[in-house]
Amino acid sequence: MQFTVTDAPTRERFEARDEAGVVAGLVTYQLTGNIIVYTHTEVDPAFEGRGVGSTLARAVMDDARARGRTVVPICPFLAEWLVKHPEYEGIVARSTRKVK
């Protein structure tokens, strides 16, 4: 099945829809200037394990790169996905916060 990812700025999220237009998953964000913080990824349980999460991850990173944005990946799923996809390293800013 094909999933199409679109930005829904009024809801501050990217949505992945199936061919019938059903929302299968989403990535929420907060945008400040050209810094985009990806806060959470969620796939509808009915669609889990079918590549929706990966499709969303690639789409939101490609979108950020195309718009010249810097990505702050707070969402653990995206942070983990980025470890496996170092080709996006150049647009990612990671926290330097130290835990005592």
Ligand X SMILES: CC(C)(COP(=O)(O)OP(=O)(O)OC[C@H]1O[C@@H](n2cnc3c(N)ncnc32)[C@H](O)[C@@H]1OP(=O)(O)O)[C@@H](O)C(=O)NCCC(=O)NCCS
The one among 48, 62, 67, 93 contacting ligand X by CB under 6 A: 48
Task: Report the candidate in 38, 20, 46 with the shortest Cα–Cα distance to residue 91.
Answer: 38
Distances (CA, A) of 53 to 10, 57, 68: 21, 6, 23
The residue (of 71 and 100) whose beta carbon lies closer to ligand X is: 71
Return d(Cα 14, Cα 30) in angstroms, integer.
11
Interacting span for ligand X (CB under 6 A) from 4-12, 58-66, 70-78, 88-96: 70-78
The residue (of 69 and 73) whose beta carbon lies closer to ligand X is: 73
50 binding ligand X? (CB under 6 A): yes
17 binding ligand X? (CB under 6 A): no
